Structure 1
């Protein structure tokens, strides 16, 4: 495996060197930031075409062969042509901004007019070539980003079964975590997180309803931002719930996430939830300062304390780093278990109702080649297609199909109760303690994939910001035996600029992210291998 990885790295380096403009410079690392790539293109030592070729070579060697991450479902056939066009613009003196020529991936539930299907990982949507760019894709390409292709995910954004295997789809197979191939890449934006962590693209767009950006970002050791619901358009994104869905950036650095958010944020007439977006959006990259933590009051939220002692230890080190950077830390008390269980129950019922209505509307808009045009037809398709259910069933689909309509009084009460409870809980913690953000460990280290017993996560901080619609930033804070663990920053609505600034300052103070080694399992690390076999 390691020999194959060495070959992959050599191919990537050769691709960059072969296409770089004079004067030549050492090839960029596949883990270089977008800012570093942009600087190299500005200096003339590399081109967008060379970056794309290097990524394509690395995808062939690592994603499709080698460790076989399965993080990418489809490649944009026009990616190289798009890169060459952007190189020509640069040569002519036209620069679109910090994303000009930077390769990015889209989660495969986001439509793009590049000839690729938008499948949500399902065979039922293998012919869903809509010819439509989602508004966020148009914003990205207008900003100069090169769309490399579509990233694998948890099928239907992990809303098919309560016993699903995160990161698995019938079309793309199982996404593997590049830090330990036997462990989860989490979901549902599994491919987006794994691909960015593995250096297959500079950034990616994921989507989140509850944890689907922040969990895969955390388990793959990258930066992920779940924005305020309504800051980023959801038009032409395969839906779960208008109440909670939002796309968000996934990158290796906070600055790259800020640049991507600056591009995709904004109002969309087709998505009424975004009517306030233009009022609240900002140049998030310009707002990053390395001293942003100085004097910042931050609430320490220990909702998962004790579940992973190793993660708790890394979190304590992160708190030390926050204090050294000038933050004032205040211990806060979160909702008790009973309150969180009530929120989760109301959220679960509301999402099933919202999903049926949203998905039926979306399926009705797909091309004629797509034969499953309702949730009921989709359930029937899965029942007859053995490739769809070898690992788990579709009980969420079946429950949603039987759910009442969105004008049902019981539904309206549950959705209102969940939203009110989460916003009240977050607002109380922020206001009563006079803090501008909350901090906690995003989740524990990635757990081993278990198709028999299902997921066994250690809990996360995603539900409160997801149900309330508030923003949630996750970024690397350290590692446990080589497995990344992340820090979460949660703030009030529209506080993305401040969260990114705080996260950037922490990132600059710690430089906690590590590159993956593509180990077959954590036991292959030298300290464990020696203990396993001392003779």
Structure 2
């Protein structure tokens, strides 16, 4: 087992000090405007769009920046920008006190690590004391949880400033057959900051949008299958789904313990990696590989997904050309067993959700189990203002228990096939990672239609089911809408994947700040 300090050192040595890029070379940042609040001097003087955690830590170390000034700047930006996009449910009233405590620690030489004094937003399904944690549902909106999730405890212990909570797709998009990503009864609809009538993907919608709009330095998302990487890709940011078990899921509203994990979302790979070094509390990822800013000699398998559209596929062709020009060998691959994995995953998750949500609800005020939760939704019209159904809940209630031999056999086959789909592809082609498009360009948000265009294809499933790490980095744009590149590798190869991702990010240089356009026309999907 590796300590957080050891993991931080490995990640930093892998790419932060080796010239990992600072994003934002293609667009002017927003900067920091307005005077800091009382006691928040000196003035931040940093571009919130492009600054990295190492740069912030250097500024705080030399006394030209305080956490109080940085936190005040993010709070001002939330007040100014969030009304356009509706990503932040609310801010923590103690945020400036947390920042002041960090400044006091620093003055006494007691800095706690890379996140000390850094403002972080947390997804609304992660228990946070003093703040509502609802998973987007009015059923949990009565009172905050009694204690922090394990990962929030780690953030606080590391000195991070808990800035507030982000909106999400209600119940992590596991309530209805026909749902709308980014909508919850508690928070309403979160919008894509690049084009406001477009969808942010889910379920970590608010976390991705908040980071894209520079409302916090980093945010925490969660994923069962796609809920970190898809919103990261669709909102032009970095999202890392860690290896299963690397980050504790204790105190996180569940879908399935067999697949659930929390992970970092940031504007650059450096910040995501440093956040992971704080979040990880299990056996750490393996040491970073030889990827210290260079792609030369690496082998990457490109798994194309033509159903995502001709323009997305063309972007993948251009991406492969850029990686080859940087010295990588890119070979086309096809992952096996995907049809069978798709057949098995949904039924397995239904049984596991019934088990895990009943256990979680027993710890909170409100409905005590899934049956009571279904009854709550039937009796509260506000839960049906965007999408009315709860078919997934009802199917889960009727699903066989996780002790059923049929379920256990199906889950074992599912895990085996997902792992083999990656392991066999990596071995047969001698790959360092598999790459694939993360997402199509964002579809138009429409409650009546729901996410009608979201099931075109998904690159998230193999790593999600296998419990292996995946990382989405910005790849480019289609009609002004971001498309991500997902990288995946073997179990506990998070550090290697992040280091490779930093090199890919540096080569692609695809990040640019959102423009908050009202629309781009109906043909942008393809």
TM-score of the superposed pair, with normalisation by structure 2: 0.90
Aligned pair partner of 1:238 in 253, 274, 285: 253
- Cross-structure match for 1:14: 34
Which residue of 2 is the match for residue 299 of structure 1?
Answer: 301
Q: Is the 8 A contact 2:287 2:496 kept in 1?
A: no
Change (3 A) 1:383 1:523: same
Question: Structure 2 CA distance, aligned partners of 1:40 and 1:288?
Answer: 27
Task: Indicate whether 1:86 and 2:102 are aligned.
Answer: yes
- Please state how far the C-alpha of 1:89 moved relative to its aligned partner: 1.0
Aligned: 1:58 with 2:65? no
Please give the alpha-carbon distance, in whole angstroms, between the structure 2 residues aligned to 1:414 and 1:128.
38
Asked if 1:42 corresponds to 2:61, the answer is yes
- In the comparison of the two structures, how many residue pairs are matched? 493
The alpha-carbon deviation at position 20 of structure 1 amounts to 6.1
Structure-1 separation of matches of 2:503 and 2:37? 33
Map 1:243-322 to 2 at 5 A. Answer: 243-267=258-282, 277=283, 280-281=284-285, 289-291=292-294, 293-302=295-304, 304-305=305-306, 307-322=308-323
Name whichever of 208-217 and 73-82 sits farther off.
Answer: 73-82
Offset from partner CA, 1:4-37 (integer Å, 9 cap, x none): xxxx968x51245986645x67443344322332
Q: Residues 283 and 101 from structure 1, CA distance in 2 versus in 1: closer, same or farther, beyond 3 angstroms? A: farther
**For the Cα contact (< 8 Å) 2:242–2:494, is it kept in 1?**
yes
Give the secondary-structure state (helix, strand or coil) at the position aligned to 1:156.
helix
Q: Distance in 1 between matches of 2:66 and 2:291?
A: 26
2:465 maps to 467
> Could you say which structure has the greater relative contact order, defined with CA pairs below 8 angstroms and 6 or more residues apart?
2
**SS of equivalent to 1:187:** coil
Q: Distance in 2 between matches of 1:512 and 1:17?
A: 34
Determine which of 205, 212, 220 is the counterpart of 1:190: 205
Shift, 1:246, TM fit: 0.3
The equivalent residue for 2:380 is 385
Q: Which runs of 5+ in 2 are unaligned?
A: 1-28
Structure 1 unaligned runs (5+)? 1-7, 268-276, 529-535
TM-score (norm 1): 0.88
2:131 matches 1:131: no
Q: Which residue of 2 aligns with 1:334?
A: 335
Distance in 2 (CA, whole Å) between partners of 1:188 and 1:283 is 30
SS in 2 for 1:522: coil
Q: Which residue of 1 aligns with 2:494?
A: 496
Distance 1:318 1:17, change over 3 A: farther
Within-5 A mapping of 1:73-472: 73-113=89-129, 115-267=130-282, 277=283, 280-281=284-285, 289-291=292-294, 293-302=295-304, 304-305=305-306, 307-335=308-336, 339-366=337-364, 370-392=365-387, 393-455=389-451, 456-457=453-454, 458-472=456-470
Distance, in Å, in 2 between the alignment partners of 1:429 and 1:281 is 21
Q: Shift in Å at residue 205 of structure 1?
A: 0.7
Backbone CA RMSD of aligned residues: 2.2
Contact 1:255 1:288 in 2 (8 A): no
